[in-house]
Chain A
Amino acid sequence: MSIQLAGLTLASRVMVASGCGGTGRELAPYVDVSALGAFVTRSLTLDPREGNPMPRVAEAPSGFVHAIGLQNPGLESFLALELPWLAQQRARTFVSITGSTLGEYAELARRLVNAPGVSGIELNLSQPDGPALGLFDSREPFQAARVVGTVRRELPRGVALTAKLAADPIRVAEAAGLCAEAGVDALVLVNAVPALMPDGRQAGLSGPAIAPLARRCVADVRAALPDLPLIGAGGVATAADARTLLAAGADAVQVGSALLHDPTVAARLAAELEGDA
């Protein structure tokens, strides 16, 4: 069952969350990526990033603590080596971007919208270890909205703009409201929760452990903004998890850490939700 979201027709309510689908190619043995609602890339920066030294991931009860450090090939290599494959597969591709300055966000957006195969841009405004990585500080809602406004000006119609917000139930409705005023088409709720690796480095916590938090954020934003499209993310591993988030007010869901445990889960959820009204 296809859905309409932010001016796009998506093949399913199930999307692949940023940072959990490799380059897309690694999922190909287990799922037809064109049958998913969207493939969201790992967060891209203007220049390549090596990422953090090992260890990068630690198991936590019902979750992962992760400090990958935004390893990515940078815009040029992404456009040359990764995007063409996604376009060829007819994947609905949302490119997740993040930056150290508003100027970097703007430049990334400007150059991505001219590339064939980009359906949307997902602003990563809530990287849980953003301070350690020197990212533009968008923890204050008005700063998050400034990024949205900056990138909105670069986008033509037909390219959707989404923003991924922090798992902060106290301020998420305020941030959502300001981002909506600044022109965002849909919000992704929520990013990994700020955490620490066992060795004390900044990290994020993802997985079923944060699912109730994601649900709360979705419900609060839905109550504040009845008409804004919302994409729920956080610990979705089963069709029941997805339906719970949809019932809380999400229009679609992203599957992330569950793919690490079972790479076929996105395809299975898409099929299971197919029959839902």
Chain B
Amino acid sequence: MSGAVHVQGELLTVKRAGSHLHLTLVAPGIAERFRPGNFVAVSSDDRSLLARRSLWIHRVRPTGSHGPTVELVVSRDAWPGGLAQGDTVALTGPLGRPFAQPKEPVSCLLVGEAHGTAPLFPLAERLRERGCPVSMLLSAPDEARLFGALEARRSARAVTVVTGDGSVGQHGSVADVIADALQRSSADVVYAVGSAPTLHAVAAAAEAHGAWSQTALEVDQPCATGLCFGCAVPVVGEGGMQRSVRACAEGPVFRGDRVRWTALTGEDA
């Protein structure tokens, strides 16, 4: 985290992909320090909007022809800046604790929800370099909010798609298909990105299957840099001690068996 920088990013390209924007920004310092699971925080230039937006990094190119670039995938309404080439936006990153990667070539299942699939692609690349067989499970409420299905077929040896309305792939949610996906991939490790209820389902299924889970949590992070304590996550630490940590600083990646999911989702209230 101490490697983060705060820079004025310059928008290079904007592509629309379903209900997402795929943005490429020139952002010196961020690309060079990136590890899969890191995110950037973006500020609006509208001074009446103070909270930062945390966005997953989809890809980096430390040595592009325009300089070091980062690529972000966001839902259209989440981008607080301008969309014209050359617009600048204040970016801080790379932030957060990245995914822990296995030292041995073990079988991995990567699970993403909507734009939360974006950070799985650089992870898949690193895992393949280590000889890990990679399977992917992509989910979204509908086809427009599904991201990366084509790219997934190039990145993974097996891809499962599930949508809430059944418009593409299987009909249902991650919770409905995760046990089957774990079985078919014989996964030793499952990496997942998404909302708390989805990650809860993944962590529980991984535990039942005997796999490790690394879960990257999407919650509102008012400052995204560890300053405000506004993104509390209840966890169980070493020795069974319960405590509250910050998603942005101690996360966003947590061991799935360490998060008190029911306390986080309010199910035990």
Chain A residues at the B interface, C-beta cutoff of 8 Å:
19-23, 25-30, 42, 50-57, 59, 61-64, 66, 68, 71, 207-208, 237, 257-264
Q: Is the CB of A262 within 8 A of B6?
A: yes
Inter-chain contacts of B263 with A (CB < 8 A): 53
Q: Indicate if the CB atoms of B47 and A56 lie closer than 8 Å.
A: no
Quick check: is B5 within 8 A (CB to CB) of the other chain? yes
Q: Is the CB of A57 within 8 A of B51?
A: yes
> Is B230 on the interface with A (CB-CB < 8 A)?
yes
> Which residues on B sit within 8 Å (CB–CB) of A19?
228-229
Report yes or no: B229 in contact with A62, Cβ–Cβ below 8 A: no
Seed contacts A53-B263, A59-B50, A64-B50; 15 additional CB < 8 Å A-B pairs: A19-B229, A29-B3, A30-B6, A54-B219, A54-B231, A54-B264, A55-B220, A56-B232, A62-B47, A68-B229, A259-B227, A260-B52, A260-B228, A263-B6, A263-B92
Known: A29-B3, A56-B230, A263-B92. A207 touches B264 (CB 8 A): no
Residue B214 CB within 8 A of the other chain: no
* Residue pair B227, A263 in contact (C-beta under 8 Å): yes
- Which residues of the partner chain A approach B249 to less than 8 Å between Cβ atoms? 22, 26
Chain B contacts for A57, CB-based, 8 A: 51, 220, 222, 228, 230
Q: A51 touching B232 by the CB < 8 A rule?
A: yes
Contact of A261 among B1, B3, B4, B50 (CB under 8 A): B50
List residues 231-257 of chain B with CB under 8 A from any CB of chain A. 231-232, 243-244, 249
- In this complex, the member of B90, B227, B231, B264 whose beta carbon has the largest number of chain A beta carbons within 10 angstroms is B227
Check B228–A66 contact: CB distance below 8 A. yes
Q: Does B110 count as interface, using CB distance less than 8 angstroms?
A: no
Taking CB atoms, residues of chain A closer than 8 Å to B220 are: 55, 57
Nearest CB in chain A to that of B245: its residue: A71
A17–chain B nearest beta-carbon distance, Å: 10
Docked pose: A257 CA to B230 CA in angstroms = 12
* Contact residues in A for B122 (Cβ distance below 8 Å): none
**Given A50-B243, A59-B50, A260-B51; A66-B227 close (CB under 8 Å):** no
Contact A260 B50, beta carbon cutoff 8 Å: yes
The 26 listed contacts between A and B (C-beta, < 8 Å) are A19-B228, A19-B229, A20-B227, A26-B1, A29-B2, A29-B6, A50-B243, A53-B232, A53-B266, A54-B231, A56-B232, A57-B230, A59-B222, A64-B50, A64-B51, A66-B230, A68-B228, A68-B229, A68-B230, A207-B50, A208-B50, A259-B223, A260-B50, A260-B227, A262-B43, A263-B227
CA distance A28 to B226 in the complex (A): 11
Q: Smallest distance from the beta carbon of A82 to chain B beta carbons, Å?
A: 13
Chain B: CB-nearest residue to A258: B50
**Shortest beta-carbon distance from B43 to chain A in Å:** 5
Inter-subunit contact B50/A63 (CB<8 Å) = yes
Evaluate whether A56 and B229 lie within 8 angstroms (CB atoms) in the complex, with A29-B3, A263-B92 already known.
yes
Task: Say yes or no: B6 contacts A208, CB within 8 Å.
Answer: no
B183 at the binding interface (Cβ < 8 Å): no
Residues of A within 8 A of B5 (CB): 29
Mask: chain B, 35-63; 1 = CB below 8 Å from A; 0 = not:
00000000100011111100000000000
Which single member of B4, B43, B47, B222 contacts A208 (CB below 8 Å)?
A: B47
**Bound complex: CA A56 to CA B50 (Å):** 15
Chain A neighbourhood of B230, CB < 8 A: 56-57, 66, 68
**How far, in whole Å, are A259 and B51 apart by their CA atoms in the complex?**
10
Complex contacts, A21 vs chain B, CB 8 Å: 227
Given A57-B220, A71-B244, A264-B6, residue A62 in contact with residue B48 (CB < 8 A): yes
- In Å, the complex CA distance between A35 and B235 comes to 35
Question: Which residue from chain A places its CB closest to the CB of B248 in the assembled complex?
Answer: A26
Instruction: Report the separation of the CA atoms of residues A50 and B229 in the bound assembly, to the nearest whole angstrom.
Output: 11
Residue of B nearest to A71 (CB): B229
Q: Which residues in B have their C-beta under 8 angstroms from that of A28? A: 2
What is the minimal beta-carbon distance from A63 to any residue of chain B, in angstroms?
7
Q: Is the CB of A257 within 8 A of B232?
A: no
Q: How far is the CA of A71 from the CA of B230 in the complex (A)?
A: 10
Closest 10 A-B residue pairs measured CB to CB?
A26-B226, A260-B223, A57-B230, A57-B222, A22-B227, A62-B48, A59-B51, A22-B226, A261-B50, A56-B230
Interface string of B1-26 (1 = CB under 8 A from A): 11111100000000000000000000
Q: Which of B225, B243, B244 contacts A263 (CB 8 A)?
A: B225
Which residues of B lie under 8 Å from residue A22 when comparing CB positions? Answer: 225-229, 249
Once the chains are docked, how many angstroms separate the CA of A19 from the CA of B227? 7
Residues of A contacting B1 in the complex (Cβ-Cβ under 8 angstroms): 26, 29
User: Cα distance A29–B2 when bound, in Å?
Assistant: 6
Cα(A20)–Cα(B225), bound, Å: 10
> In this complex, what residue of B is CB-closest to A24?
B227
Q: Which residues of A contact B223 (CB under 8 A)?
A: 259-261, 263
A27 proximity list for chain B (CB < 8 A): 227
CB 8 Å contact bits of B254-269 with A (1 = contact, 0 = none): 0000000001101000
